[in-house]
Chain A
């Protein structure tokens, strides 16, 4: 099915006048289902796509954004699953589409959906308070060890990426960090900048406001390479000046959060091709590039087989840690 869709998309891209494929177009308003709270990263992702489509007239039908962030996003996925076969619903989310069913009894798995594209990857960084004496990741490791199991890490949600990174850090450093879950990265950031906790692992966009004001400071990024060069964020530093955690001696290779758009299950291949094409065009617009740069994410589009491969790999990684921690739901 997915392979077929991929071929279909390739065909559309290659042939100037596709004769074999009846061209599919949405016949009514398309609903963008957001699997997170209003104003969160996923909401901004969906609205960035909406803005790019509308400003460049990429689609004739209107777009309706609906927020279904209940149950950490499960509400939106269950809603999309129940619209099986309806190609007028595009659900926006992150890896939570395959991580949520691991730890909680939700009535869906990612196999109930048809992933269309991973459009952008958000980064994770270690942040400390602005006036903290810790200067780099080495200093961070020493400080965590010195606290002897009393280091407090804030993060968004439970049994999700932030807690997973904390567990990976436990192993890399060889100690236990106390993880304190909040509803969102924004809340975690406020707590850190208020000096109530020791660190968090927010996405860049969640903490940039406080970084500019000198209230929090990033130490390193969980990626193989530093971020792409760009304008200075603070007076002295740009995102690209943040070193990788690996280069600083923390043995975690890469950890990114994909932002994925999916259709419900059992939709026609022509519709899949249409949305693949649409999202590929979106990724080329100046509005989209501006969004990616502004939120300091990595703009890398995965479609078709590449996407399937990525999801399978990431899923296996979460599953392994969850199994070890005893978090898998029976």
Chain B
């Protein structure tokens, strides 16, 4: 295998003292950026780019990539401890991570999160190493109908008919899709749903919505109970970590499936956020004990984390090989590449071997560095939780609003975050599911663009989505998963009827 030889060369590039230092610096900066809800990995990369002007491209990309891994890890920490997702892609981690922490299993939750994240990341890098050639040309098969099919599949996996009232799920998803279509419409070039407000031209930022729905909304709900933190003390003792490591292999099905979902979404590219939702949805749907989901099931932490990180790493492949960024962060890095004078494309793997394989090798090393560092920062966050509530609550409020400001320096966004906070609280009290709204905001406008591009290309015929085996298969799979709850209950009924047991009413 040529690839292995190239990889060894890459390790020679990556394993220098200077590059290891850059990895540590990048990861630490990433953890900080990841912990702050509004400031995400894309912002972090943007902030670092000016520093890379004077660097060698390999060193520059190692710094930026390490920052990305650090941010992905940092995002999960606040999701679990505070129910505030530090990164968009760690929204799904809150569903079970925070309940676990509330039950006093914070260490377990954090360890599961970090270890499965590391597993997912390494899985993604191995896939990149082995499949650099074929995976890149596979991504080339994707045109607009296939993109739409990918988004449809992700949505179908997650939504289905969960525990909530179907009407409330409709409201939540519909609101998300509506909000996603505010602002410039790529296909027609017209501004939609702005109601004459200049502040709505840029659209409604998904980050601002998440800060409000989760950050502010969670605080209001906490306040209602009592003036003290529902968050939890967390201390990572080596023994707890070892215990989790020992327990992890029994979840191998979830780990491997989630990592595969992540690679799929990273390469196709649906992005890490959609990947984590999709993976969580699949884990819930195919779990032996579905009832525990949302109440602190380890699978509910493992699935989104493994998928998130494997999508994050594998998104680097289409970026380098084709110039298709698989995530927002990859898009910013691609800009960096161009500034350093490199052009993403298949020739990069031929012309710039040291750059490409140095980066890939650094991904192995930096992810290990990141796990170690992030485990060390946990006591720091745990200490935060011991600060009296009358001090820490206003601080979190300030962090939320400052984060909302950093999204696009717009005062309007702060009011918006506040409004989303009230909506988040109201929805929580009335059992409206929030996740469909978040997922709809993430994929909404991309899905609409892909749908309408397909219609333009195929003259307005819905046959576009079954015009080839690839697209047709993904679409059909999506419909099967969407209707899965119906199908499975139907099958259960049939099998029950066959055994001739009496049906219970209201099953």
Contact = CB atoms under 8 A, between A and B. Distances in A.
Chain A–chain B contact at Cβ < 8 A: yes
Interface of A: 37-40, 43-44, 47-48, 50-51, 54-55, 63, 65-68, 70-72, 74-75, 78-79, 103-107, 152, 157-160, 163, 178-183, 186-187, 189-191, 193-194, 196-197, 205, 208-210, 212-213, 215, 294, 327
A151 B410 CA distance: 43
Contacts of B203: 70-71
A71 B457 contact: no
Nearest to B329: A38
Interface pairs A-B: 9 shortest CB-CB? A70-B202, A39-B335, A209-B345, A158-B189, A159-B189, A209-B343, A196-B143, A75-B202, A71-B201
B183 A190 contact: no
Interface in B20-75: 42, 46, 49-50, 53-54
A72 B339 contact: no
Given A65-B50, A66-B409, A181-B453, A107 B339 contact: no
A163 B338 CA distance: 25
B480 interface: no
Given A160-B189, A210-B346, 16 more contacts: A39-B331, A54-B50, A66-B409, A68-B202, A74-B201, A104-B189, A104-B191, A181-B186, A182-B186, A186-B334, A190-B140, A196-B143, A209-B346, A209-B348, A212-B345, A294-B341
A205 B59 CA distance: 24
A194 B142 contact: yes
A223 B503 CA distance: 77
A241 B324 CA distance: 28
Contacts of B201: 70-71, 74-75, 78, 106-107
Contact of A104 (B42, B49, B190, B325): B190
A137 B317 CA distance: 34
A235 B441 CA distance: 45
B372 interface: no
A286 to B, nearest CB: 13
Given A38-B42, A209-B347, A181 B187 contact: yes
Nearest to A107: B198
Interface string B326-351: 00000111111011010111111001
Given A44-B335, A190-B323, A213-B345, A75 B453 contact: no
Contact of A70 (B140, B183, B189, B333): B183
A327 B190 CA distance: 10
B189 A37 contact: no
B289 interface: no
Contacts of B237: none
17 contacts: A38-B42, A47-B335, A70-B202, A71-B183, A71-B201, A72-B184, A106-B201, A159-B188, A181-B186, A181-B453, A190-B322, A194-B140, A209-B347, A209-B348, A210-B345, A213-B346, A294-B341
A209 B343 CA distance: 5
Contacts of A191: 143-144
Given A50-B50, A189-B323, A157 B345 contact: no
Contacts of B456: 178-180
Nearest to B328: A38
Given A70-B202, A183-B449, A103 B339 contact: no
B194 A157 contact: no
Contacts of B449: 182-183
B151 to A, nearest CB: 14
A107 B202 CA distance: 12
